[in-house]
Amino acid sequence: MEALQSLLEMKAWSKKIHDQDLKIGFVPTMGALHEGHLSLVQQSKARCDRTVVSIFVNPLQFGPQEDLEHYPQNLEKDFELLKKEAVDVVFVPKPKEMYPEGFQTMVELSQLSQSLCGKSRPASSGESNRPTHFQGVATVVLKLFNVVSPDQAFFGNKDFQQRVMMDRLVKDLHLDIEIVACPIVREKDGLAMSSRNVYLSFEERQRAAVLYRALQHGKKLFWAGERQSSKIIAQVTEMIDKENPKHIDYVCMCDAETLEEVFEIHKPVLLAVAVHFGKARLIDNMLLYGDH
């Protein structure tokens, strides 16, 4: 396994691999790796000749009140996990090289970024020149795509909005990259795996398991024939409220492709939640479609 920091080194490695007509799979991460990330790596290794994993805590996607300075990082452990998965390259670029002095170009998806986490994670806080959360995400992913030059890039459906945005980004900018959506990986009690789960106390961790139960309850209501979003949302919200979260950012039903809010269900929709337990902001979702 090679560890690369320089953008030029990463580009040279990718060119060498493509010159051999080999396919590169790419898993972009912010580190603090867990089984969810490793499942993406395994998908890449199964489908591609070479696999690159990036580790970069992107400052542009953190709001002024968010956890950039305290975001969990453990490069040594991450490297050990990736060695076990026989990853070919770990790309760990330096912030000063990713965002050199004078950097001012931002990437924005004007519609998909407005719902769900786009509403509840404004990064400006009155600073008109500060990028929004999803401007930061789209900008860093496009930069990483340009440096790594992958044939396929792997994203988990826990960050469903981000994955849909990457589909749109690739289509709109005519990038020769296939976005591969991968299923959510969960703990035994259903809690979606997340780097931020380490923020949870034991008691908060127990209560946070309600998110999956609430989503399942919403899906059961849908299977039973309920098609009014407001009724499903009300019951899901009530279940979560009973576990005394610090704050519910949203419980939302939206179109699975456009992410626009849906009030009456006639096609596949996404039931999505974002909830604070203690210091952790947790997101999760479930697709509702079919009759049962």
Residue 275: which CATH number? 3.30.1300.10
Q: Tens digit of pLDDT for each residue in 164-194?
A: 999 999 999 999 999 999 999 999 999 999 9
Same domain, 85 and 166: yes
182, 211, 242 - which closes a domain: 182
Tell me how crowded residue 125 is: count the other CB atoms within 10 A of its CB.
9
Contacting residues for 47 by C-beta, under 8 A, at least 6 apart:
23, 25, 152, 180
Tell me how crowded residue 68 is: count the other CB atoms within 10 A of its CB.
13
Same domain, 104 and 222: no
Q: Note whether residue 234 is domain-resident.
A: yes
The structure's pTM equals 0.93
| CATH code for the domain in which residue 25 is found | 3.40.50.620
**DSSP of 78-89:** HHHHHHHTT-SE
Q: Note whether residue 291 is domain-resident.
A: no
> Known catalytic residues?
37
Q: Identify the sign of the CA torsion 212, 214, 219, 224.
A: positive
Q: Tens digit of pLDDT for each residue in 99-145?
A: 999 999 999 999 999 999 988 765 444 444 567 889 999 999 999 99
- The H or E element that residue 51 is part of is strand 50-55
Same domain, 53 and 6: yes
The segments of the chain whose pLDDT lies below 70 read: 64-67, 121-130, 290-292
Same domain, 46 and 177: yes
Look at the chain and report how many structural domains it folds into. Answer: 2
147, 182, 217 - which closes a domain: 182
50, two tokens: 């070479």
DSSP state of 67: -
- pLDDT on residue 31: 94
Angle at 229 between CA 268 and CA 190, to 5 degrees: 70
Q: Are 93 and 7 in contact (CB under 8 A)?
A: yes
CA nearest to 262, candidates 239, 242, 287: 287
Same domain, 178 and 204: no
- pLDDT on residue 72: 83
What domain range is 108 assigned to? 2-182
- pLDDT on residue 118: 87
Q: Note whether residue 66 is domain-resident.
A: yes
Query: What is the rounded CA–CA span in Å between residue 223 and residue 72?
Result: 39
Largest CA distance in the chain: 57
